[in-house]
Structure 1
Amino acid sequence: MNLIRLVLTFVVALLFVLLTMPQVIPFLHKLKFGQIEREEGLASHKAKQGTPTMGGLVFIIAAIVAVYLCNIEFLKNPYINLLVFALAGFGFIGFVDDYLIVVQKSNKGLRPLHKYLLQSVFAIGFYMLAARTIPEFSHQITIPFTQLNVDLGWLYPVLVYFMFTAESNAVNLSDGLDGLATGLVMIAIVPYIIFALILKNWAIVIFCAAMIGALAGFMHFNYNPAKIFMGDCGSLALGGVLAALSILTKQELLLILIGLVPLCETLSVIIQVISFKTRGKRVFKMAPIHHHFEMCGWSETKVVLVFWLVEALAAIASVLIGVM
């Protein structure tokens, strides 16, 4: 029965996106909710100006509908409700950001301070809800390659905060090429399915199936040439989900490896900014690093496929480490 539910949840999420998106894309076109490309961006990306954005809203709804529709008993499941809280909460932040961008016709959106404040609210809210609703919730983390568990005490909520803010922004930075972030997160979710199976937590497995189904449907419209972009609505939500999955499967430190490509994207921006401000020189031709490879002559499709491969290798490594 569990396997049937798993497949059904995946299929419902997949079909929801595949059937809904053809109506959503022209609707967004009509509202003129289109992508605003940066003035300093690559010339090859100028053609993407006006492509509908905020598509992440569709796969967010699809995943939530599939989980609850196919698994009514999960309405009161704390794991599912926490994952939905992270997905919808960080999706809401991105939605506000996207809305401001398309209405103001600029690529500024939410001010960084306001965005971080909202991210902080949902990160802290997640921690408080988890502490209240999950009986076995603890401040312990497992050190990879060892059997050592360390109780972080008051530092644990600080770790949770940084996991949510860092990962949501990292996935957001990765969403710069057609299909890139969508594929990266689909791959990154797979290790959590394995970790959840080891824990015998069927609720998390079901949620992961819904997410992969929804993202697989979205990929049909998001792969090069993209007919729609996920926007911050989608990328912030996906980053929030990865952080939540790491916390609920007690693989907090492995998020660094599981989210390797988004981490590298973030580090490339940090390195670029620090280098330019301190030395007046750029380390990369353009940051985030996926644009650097484009400027080196790689096609957009090649960059995406290579980054997916790196992410897949990181996911395999994380599973091997996690089960040791």
Structure 2
Amino acid sequence: MDLQALLFTAIAAFAIALLLGPICIPLLHRLKFGQSIREEGPQHHKAKAGTPTMGGVMILLAVVLTTLKFAVDSLDTLMLLLGTVGFGLIGFADDFIKIVKKRNLGLTARQKLLFQCIVTVILFFLLWWEQGGYHSFSIHIPFSNWAIPVGIFYVLFLLIVLLGTTNAVNLTDGLDGLLSGCAIMVFAAYAVYAYWNTNYDVSLFCAAMVGALGGFLAFNRHPAKVFMGDTGSLAIGGGLAMVAVLTHSELALILFGLVFVAEALSVMIQVFSYRTFGRRVFKMSPLHHHFELSGWSEWEVVIAFWLASFICAFGTLALLSR
């Protein structure tokens, strides 16, 4: 496979997402699938109430169609799509309940965890089948040749990777275009990393995700005409986690997606500090809201986070290539 195939895959996904916009957005309007804005969020965000959500279906369709068209029919491709679509469907159910019941809470925490565990177990057995037995499961240490064999306990590690990634990515989806742009940077870096390591199916999937997110960003940039909802954010997180798993870079994902990690940590720190000391560390969490309330415009925050994501993703890529 050459680099032209990656470029063509990205362009095809971009075109599909771009074409889906004029179809999906009016349909979401007619179905009254509008976003509800949480009361505790920044007050100026209330103007966004009613903007169509669940636009993540555009990303899902573009990624699935292009991956099925251009990637090899392999177990890796199946696992990438299962991680993406499986978590995307969980997000879809969550979004749908929120819209129907007109509230900010969709699936309960237990329901989400149950469905996430089911998808994780299926993915684990597919990995087991591909690797020929649990004895081959290892956790690779970045910037070294070390790998820690964990056997069947890898299923617990896989659950942590999937839940941690999807939740961190989901928390980043709070401003127009923020998650779309940050995810483009990470998937672009992973497309190169997977290509270097001859994981061509993974590389093609990443290229498809870059294109799909780029096409979606045309409608999601400020002021957003559509939001991706949990349908999109959980799908992105599930796909990204499986990219890391299949490239044996689960721990390196922390560096590739350091912006996502920072967003999640800001929430954890805020909750811990408030419950323990009765004080807030940030003006509001996740972290992007802190900068908003510090006087930054929404677009300034988004551009800064895009740049940070680019530096983290491609900086990690450069370090791993040495």
TM-score grouping bracket, smaller chain normalisation: over 0.9
Q: 1:125 aligns with which of 122, 130, 133?
A: 122
Partners of 2:95 and 2:229 within 8 A in 1? yes
1:95-114 map, 5 Å? 95-114=92-111
CA distance in 2, matches of 1:144, 1:40: 39
Partners of 1:13 and 1:66 within 8 A in 2? yes
Amino acid at match of 1:5: A
Amino acid at match of 1:105: K
CA distance in 2, matches of 1:15, 1:134: 36
Amino acid at match of 1:57: V
CA distance in 1, matches of 2:142, 2:210: 26
Q: 2:289 aligns with which of 278, 288, 291?
A: 291
Partners of 1:35 and 1:51 within 8 A in 2? yes
Partners of 1:251 and 1:322 within 8 A in 2? no
SS in 2 for 1:183: helix
Amino acid at match of 1:60: L
Moved more, 304-313 or 5-14: 5-14
CA distance in 2, matches of 1:185, 1:173: 13
Same amino acid, percent of matched pairs: 44
1:177-216 map, 5 Å? 177-216=175-214
Partners of 1:123 and 1:165 within 8 A in 2? no
The alpha-carbon deviation at position 194 of structure 1 amounts to 2.2
The alpha-carbon deviation at position 155 of structure 1 amounts to 3.2
The alpha-carbon deviation at position 124 of structure 1 amounts to 1.9
The alpha-carbon deviation at position 136 of structure 1 amounts to 9.4
The TM-score normalised by the length of structure 2 is: 0.95
1:1-324 map, 5 Å? 2-71=2-71, 74=72, 76-134=73-131, 138-324=136-322
Amino acid at match of 1:30: R
Amino acid at match of 1:195: Y
SS in 2 for 1:210: helix
Deviations, residues 262-306 of structure 1 (Å, cap 9, x unaligned): 111111111111111121111111111110110000000111111
The alpha-carbon deviation at position 134 of structure 1 amounts to 4.5
| Cα RMSD (Å) | 1.6
The alpha-carbon deviation at position 311 of structure 1 amounts to 1.1
Which sections of structure 2, spanning at least 5 residues, go unmatched?
Answer: none
Partners of 2:93 and 2:107 within 8 A in 1? yes
The TM-score normalised by the length of structure 1 is: 0.95
SS in 2 for 1:253: coil
SS in 1 for 2:151: coil
Which sections of structure 1, spanning at least 5 residues, go unmatched?
Answer: none
The alpha-carbon deviation at position 5 of structure 1 amounts to 3.4
Amino acid at match of 2:112: K
Amino acid at match of 2:93: V
Amino acid at match of 1:34: G
Partners of 1:260 and 1:311 within 8 A in 2? yes
The alpha-carbon deviation at position 3 of structure 1 amounts to 4.2
CA distance in 1, matches of 2:311, 2:8: 29
Amino acid at match of 1:110: L
The alpha-carbon deviation at position 67 of structure 1 amounts to 1.6
Structure 1 segments of 4+ aligned residues over 4 angstroms from their partners:
1-4, 134-137
The alpha-carbon deviation at position 185 of structure 1 amounts to 0.9
Amino acid at match of 1:12: A
The alpha-carbon deviation at position 114 of structure 1 amounts to 1.1
CA distance in 1, matches of 2:222, 2:89: 26
Partners of 1:8 and 1:70 within 8 A in 2? no
Amino acid at match of 1:111: T
Size of the alignment, in residue pairs? 321
